[in-house]
Structure 1
């Protein structure tokens, strides 16, 4: 009985340590950045500020700190200033993306980075045939 209690206590302690460590150094498990990329057909290469009422940045004014850039048909880069890990050894976090609106599209995160001062993510959106399509989307980044 004592062995079982010790094993269970160890597992609980390990779980608590792992969930804190997974958040990244100096970061709690909280929302760092939220973006509604509302301009699906912005000019390629031209960054824009996503919709302010539906955007969040833990470091302040989301209207100036969050940017979305369409880099090709259905391909976007999201940048959230100041919410990165701060160094090459501190990347991490978790990203969710969802296509938005009455479209038959799906979006996914191709990759993301938090090693520098900023968070960046590459998002790709596809239509029902698998071809790249322009789409609005929501993106959430948490530590």
Structure 2
């Protein structure tokens, strides 16, 4: 997936990965890869600055913990982060519905059968009070 496609969505993706359980930085990257079916492979140089930005904004908190015998910074979602994530999810649904309405092909109504249309047309014309059929009959009578 192109990096440009993620522009403006990285924060929401990180918040979504942290929804449910705290994770350390590399586990966040792995979760993004797993949940995207391998399409999102983000470098640490992209993820860690974004996590620090989210922490400064008060959307995530971090603490040092020992994971697998190693000291790692573990991030968790705050209540403010949960609120922002809910807003991002709602905005995303609205965005995809709007863009989908334009990009996705609309089902076309079935085309009427021309033979059926001709058979129906004179009856329809008579019901509407159209005199085209009567005029045709009058014109074709011998004088």
TM-score, structure 1 normalization:
0.22
Of structures 1 and 2, the one scoring higher in RCO (CA 8 A, sep 6+) is 1
Tell me which structure has the larger Cα radius of gyration.
2
TM-score, structure 2 normalization:
0.22
Structure richer in strand, relative to its length: 1
